[in-house]
Amino acid sequence: MLPTRPRTVPSSRLSRLAGFGRLAGGIAGNVIGGGARDVLKGQRPDLANLLLTPANAKRLADELARLRGAAMKLGQLISMDGGEVLPRELADILARLRAEADPMPEKQLEQALVAAWGPDWRAQFQRFDAVPIAAASIGQVHRAVALDGRDLAIKVQYPGVAASIDADVDNVATLVKLSGLVPAGFAIDPLLAEAKRQLHEEADYAREGAMLARFGALAADWADVVVPQFAADLSRPTILAMGHVKGVAIDKIAALPQAERDRVMTLMLRILMAELFDWGVMQTDPNFANYRYDLGSGKLVLLDFGAAREVPAAVSNGYRALLAAGLAGDDDGLLAAMAGIGILPENAPAAMTDTILAMARDGFAPLRMDGAFDFGAGGLAGNLKDQSTTLIGQREHFTAPPPDILFIQRKIAGMYLLAARLKARVDVAALVRPYTAGGTAIAA
Q: Which helix (H) or strand (E) holds 429?
A: helix 428-436
**d(C-alpha 80, C-alpha 139), whole Å:** 20
**Helices assigned H by DSSP within 157-245:** 165-179, 189-202, 205-218
Q: State which H helix or E strand residue 139 sits in.
A: strand 139-146
What lies within 8 Å, CB to CB, of 390 at 6+ separation is 355
Give catalytic status of residue 332 as yes or no. Answer: no
Half-sphere exposure of 37 (CA within 13 A, CB side): 7
Task: Please pick, among 262, 285, 304, 374, the residue that the annotation labels catalytic.
Answer: 285
The strand pair at 300-302 and 225-226 is best described as parallel
What does the longest C-alpha to C-alpha distance in the chain come to? 73
| 55: phi then psi, degrees, rounded to nearest 5 | -65, -45
Phi and psi at residue 191, to the nearest 5°: -70, -40
Strand positions, DSSP E, 217-329:
225-226, 239-243, 248-249, 281-283, 291-293, 300-302, 308-310
Element (H, E) at 156: strand 151-157
Is 426:373 a contact under the CB 8 Å cutoff? Answer: yes
Q: How far apart are CA 77 and CA 246, in angstroms?
A: 27
Which residues form the catalytic set?
Answer: 285
